[in-house]
Amino acid sequence: MALVSPSEVSGQTAKRDDGEHFDLDVVIWNQRMHAVAAHRRDAGYFLSDASSLRSSSVDTARYVLAPGVRAFGVRDIHYPYNSHSKWAETRLTLFVQKGDRIDRIFATQVELLTDGGNDPGCLDATRGIRTTVGTTTTQSRGYADLSVVTQDVTASDVSGKPCGPAKIERHQTSYDGATYGLVAIRMYLHPFD
């Protein structure tokens, strides 16, 4: 399970409840033993400043990394504070249990919805960038490599039709013994290249 709570501590002594910083607790519960099998706490993991943290959920997709090793994810969804902005973001963080601890091994943005412009034939468009994460048949240091596929589509809000062909990026990232690192998705950085 994933629990989100307002951060209470900033630095050594000052208390903070500013509505912007949130802690993440990830817990694996052993149902047979009725006890916590593993726990991880990331203080101040979520920041909800320019956008509002609206929800978090556990992603139970089958990220099978090795025999007997399955990662799980936590998705956090952010929206703007006002209802007039056309913007939303979802991020995915993958974790894996190692004995009584939980390691964070990968994080990426998996969805970005934003204003796609107002070109002729594509009125009041929405740009949607969506990323899927899966495992491959190749391995590095005993764990399956990850496949990261991103699709960028701009569609008219009026007609619902795409404003042009979808752009697709494919990346493969390898486990370095601690994490899968960071995949820089070019579309996020240079949307018009």
119 part of a folded domain = yes
Per-residue pLDDT of the chain (193 residues; tens, 9 = 90+): 888 888 875 554 444 556 678 888 898 888 888 888 988 998 888 777 667 778 888 998 989 999 999 999 999 988 876 777 778 889 999 999 999 999 999 999 999 988 888 877 788 888 899 999 999 999 999 999 999 999 999 888 778 888 889 999 999 999 999 999 876 665 554 443 3
11 part of a folded domain = no
121 part of a folded domain = yes
pLDDT of 8 reads 74
pLDDT of 9 reads 56
169 part of a folded domain = yes
5 part of a folded domain = no
30 part of a folded domain = no
69 part of a folded domain = yes
State the residue range of the domain holding 90: 51-189
Number of domains in the chain: 1
Q: Taking the CB of residue 153, how many other CB atoms lie within 10 A of it?
A: 18
Instruction: Please name the amino acid found at residue 143.
Output: Y
Task: Return the structure tokens found at 57.
Answer: 């959920």
pLDDT of 138 reads 97
18 part of a folded domain = no
